[in-house]
Structure 1
């Protein structure tokens, strides 16, 4: 039986993608001067996989194929004083064009794995990036033998 005063909390959902090409991860710098994964809010008429592919294309002009889900967590944005539910997917880049910065971010970059721990970025994103690098290495090892 529910309590009469209970009001369920709601949170925005943000779907993010970890894209590694040529050993480097694609990151964007936001208005808080944090590096973040490309992605954004899901629309009512799309799946999470469609959302992350669309958002990556909108923010970087990269076409991707969405792979497996990597992680989920609740992220508190101090300056906005709000919680956001984050879902991350591993994604595969389709093509070899340079990423293009959209109006949504201040900077775009491709970073080698060893630089990620030093970047100003939420821990959850760092965890998702590490997970995707590990899975990509496992996939490569399986292919090699």
Structure 2
């Protein structure tokens, strides 16, 4: 009888694309990468609730969590893989973000500047997806008499 492969488990991280004034919120982590706000999904926790809590903890912002944008696997280093869920978020606050103790730096970046930052490709893809959804022109339907 063939032996089955051992099960493989991932940590799950829930991240949000938060745009305020045409600039996206990013935080610099201990690996000197700029990442989206969010964090580890706890057992039994709803992903959207997790994300709203994490964004508030990391930036002081209240957000409405919107649609799921992407799901991807991030290989950080040998033995450290994370399944990342990214959502678009509507920022409720008009205040500037506040840096928490979890990160080295916080910033709001213009979309054109994100490509120059050290950021995982999955985050860039999610930022592009949310930005495109936010700037897509609204189609007007002609009224008939």
TM-score between the two structures when normalised by the length of structure 2: 0.91
Displacement of 1:144 in angstroms is 7.4
Instruction: Point out the structure with the larger helix share.
Output: 1
RMSD: 1.7
1:64 maps to 63
Displacement of 1:4 in angstroms is 3.3
1:1-51 residue CA offsets vs partner (Å, 9 max, x unmatched): x94342110010000000011100000000011000000011234211111
CA distance in 1, matches of 2:64, 2:58: 15
CA distance in 1, matches of 2:40, 2:92: 22
Which structure 2 residue ranges, 5 or more long, are not aligned? Answer: none
Among residues 82, 85, 88, which one is paired with 2:83 in the alignment?
Answer: 85
Report the 3-state secondary structure (helix = DSSP H, G, I; strand = E; otherwise coil) of the residue aligned with 1:54: helix
1:66-104 residue CA offsets vs partner (Å, 9 max, x unmatched): 0000001000113x6411000000001012011110000
1:112 maps to 110
CA distance in 1, matches of 2:111, 2:2: 48
1:73 maps to 72
Q: Which has the larger radius of gyration?
A: 2
Aligned pairs for 1:1-145 (under 5 A) are 3-78=2-77, 81-138=79-136, 141-142=137-138
Report the 3-state secondary structure (helix = DSSP H, G, I; strand = E; otherwise coil) of the residue aligned with 1:89: strand
